[in-house]
């Protein structure tokens, strides 16, 4: 496995203990101080410094999603890639959506999924396009032979110092990717989801603690929480559960692609009670829990995974 493994892993990630090992959460991962760096949007895990842990060597499956079929948007990198890897280790086949510029990351995730003996269907395309949101679902169903888990995870985050400096194009795209695509993909998926299926949306700590430089993005995340609660009620009688995961500061390509002001990167995540940024794979168990039947009575909930920051 080590021979084929990717440029996305570094030596430290190869030596991680798995998520079921008894350990101190403060020191499970080191405090990182990422150097100031810039990548054009959407950014690649492959170019992230330091490398993030997506779980390639550290997520151990226990058969919790055997035979399931999942569509994950933004499944090429960051949190979405960690979810794809964890779902495959738990026995699921996955379809992942991403932008065409992200082929290297997507192919790396496909390799890891296939090494688990599972299928990975790659479906590149732009979620700002309504017709693509609909064909994405059809293609995922065709590629997987059905669908019973939808993870709306793709997101756009660009910091802007003031509302006057927030370009209208950015405002529209951020809402299109984070909110409209979630509505459209969920709507298209409903034709295919049977009782027992689950929908999981990725929101954020900023839904409750909106930083002044993320006015557009933070408000989309509040909308995602709200959508999760209304759709949770609407779909519960049909046996489909809707929940959300709210990450805190997680080291992913979203951050050095202007998700944060560059000068903020060296102290990224250090102000959490745990004192460090989270790694993408630390989010994966929350998605696995919400996707699997063990959370049968959990509906409309937002599971916070944020290193200890208080939430409402």
Residues forming contacts to ligand NAD in the complex (CB under 6 A) are: 42-43, 74, 76-80, 98-99, 102, 126-128, 153-157, 177, 202, 204, 247, 249-250, 252-254
232 binds, among ligand NAD, Mg ion, none (CB under 5 to 8 A by kind): none
Cα(250)–Cα(257) distance, integer angstroms: 14
Least distance (Å) between residue 138 CB and ligand NAD:
16
Nearer to ligand NAD, 18 or 264 (CB): 264
Q: Which is nearer to ligand NAD, 62 or 153 (CB)?
A: 153
Residue 77 interacting with Mg ion (CB under 5 A): yes
Catalytic residues: 217
Q: Smallest gap, in angstroms, from Cβ of residue 164 to ligand NAD?
A: 24
Residues 213 and 307: their CA atoms lie apart, in Å, by 21
Q: Is the dihedral of CA 180, 181, 182, 188 positive or negative?
A: positive
9 binds, among ligand NAD, Mg ion, none (CB under 5 to 8 A by kind): none
Piece in contact with Mg ion (CB under 5 A), picked from 52-60, 69-77, 111-119, 209-217: 69-77
Q: Closest by alpha carbon to 89, among 78, 97, 81?
A: 81
Closest by Cα among 239, 144, 147 to 186: 147
Our CA angle for 90, 180, 279, nearest 5°, is: 40
Q: Choose between 33 and 296: whose C-beta lies nearer to ligand NAD.
A: 33
Residue 153, binding choice from ligand NAD, Mg ion, none, Cβ under 5 to 8 Å by partner class: ligand NAD
How near is the Cβ of 175 to Mg ion at its closest, in Å?
19
Q: Which of Mg ion, ligand NAD, none interacts with 55 (beta carbon under 5 to 8 A by kind)?
A: none
Torsion on CA atoms 223, 131, 243, 302, rounded to nearest 10: -30
Sheet strand arrangement including 120-124: 120-124, 93-98, 69-73, 149-152, 198-202, 241-247, 302-305
The CB-of-98 to Mg ion minimum distance in angstroms stands at: 6
Q: Which residue is nearest to Mg ion (CB)?
A: 77
254 binds, among ligand NAD, Mg ion, none (CB under 5 to 8 A by kind): ligand NAD
Residue from 29, 51, 70, 76 binding Mg ion (CB under 5 A): 76
**Nearest residue (CB) to Mg ion, 100 versus 196:** 100
d(CA 48, CA 216): 25
Least spacing, CB of residue 74 vs Mg ion, in Å: 6
CA–CA dist 250, 246 (Å, integer): 11
Q: What is the DSSP string of 199-258?
A: EEEE--GGGTS--TT-HHHHHHHHHHHHHHHHHHHHHGGGT-EEEEEEE-SB-STTIIII
Name the residue nearer to ligand NAD (CB basis): 57 or 208: 208
The item of ligand NAD, Mg ion, none sharing an interface with residue 250, based on CB under 5 to 8 Å by kind, is: ligand NAD
> Could you give the CA distance from residue 285 to residue 192 in angstroms, rounded to a whole number?
25
Give the C-alpha separation, 44 to 6, whole Å.
13
Question: Footprint of Mg ion on residues 92-111 (CB under 5 A)?
Answer: 102
Q: Which of 231, 244, 293, 249 is nearest to 78 (CA)?
A: 249
Q: Residue 2 is encoded by which pair of tokens? A: 């080590």
Phi, psi of 289 (to 5 degrees): -60, -50
Select the residue whose beta carbon is closest to ligand NAD and give its number: 78
Smaller CB separation from Mg ion, 76 or 216: 76
- Select from 74-82, 87-95, 208-216, 231-239 the region that touches Mg ion (CB under 5 A): 74-82
């Amino acid at each position: 496995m080590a021979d084929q493994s990717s440029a996305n892993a570094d030596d430290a990630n190869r030596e991680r203990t798995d998520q079921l090992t008894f350990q101190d959460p403060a020191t499970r991962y080191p405090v990182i101080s990422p150097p100031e760096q810039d990548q054009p949007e959407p950014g690649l895990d492959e170019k992230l410094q330091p490398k993030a842990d997506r779980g390639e060597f550290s997520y151990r499956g226990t058969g919790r999603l055997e035979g399931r079929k999942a569509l994950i948007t933004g499944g090429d990198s960051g949190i979405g890639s960690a979810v794809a890897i964890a779902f495959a280790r738990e026995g699921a086949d996955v379809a992942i959506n991403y932008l065409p510029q992200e082929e290297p990351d997507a192919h790396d995730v496909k390799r890891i999924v296939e090494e688990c003996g599972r299928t990975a269907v790659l479906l590149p395309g732009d979620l700002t396009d309504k017709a693509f949101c609909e064909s994405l679902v059809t293609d995922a169903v065709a590629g997987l032979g059905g669908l019973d888990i939808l993870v709306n995870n793709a997101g756009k985050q660009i910091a802007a110092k003031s509302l006057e400096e927030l370009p209208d194009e950015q405002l529209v795209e951020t809402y299109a990717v984070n909110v409209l695509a979630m509505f459209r993909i969920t709507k298209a998926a409903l034709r295919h989801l049977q009782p027992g299926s689950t929908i999981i949306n990725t929101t954020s700590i900023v839904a409750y603690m909106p930083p002044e430089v993320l006015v557009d993005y933070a408000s989309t995340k509040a909308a995602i929480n709200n959508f999760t609660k209304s759709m949770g009620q609407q779909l519960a009688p049909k046996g489909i559960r809707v929940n959300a995961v709210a990450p805190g500061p997680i080291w992913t390509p979203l951050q050095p692609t202007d998700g944060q002001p560059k000068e903020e990167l060296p102290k990224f995540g250090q102000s959490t009670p745990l004192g460090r940024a989270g790694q993408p794979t630390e989010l994966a168990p929350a998605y696995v829990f919400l996707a699997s039947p063990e959370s049968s009575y959990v509906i409309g909930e937002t599971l916070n995974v944020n290193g200890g920051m208080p939430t409402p």
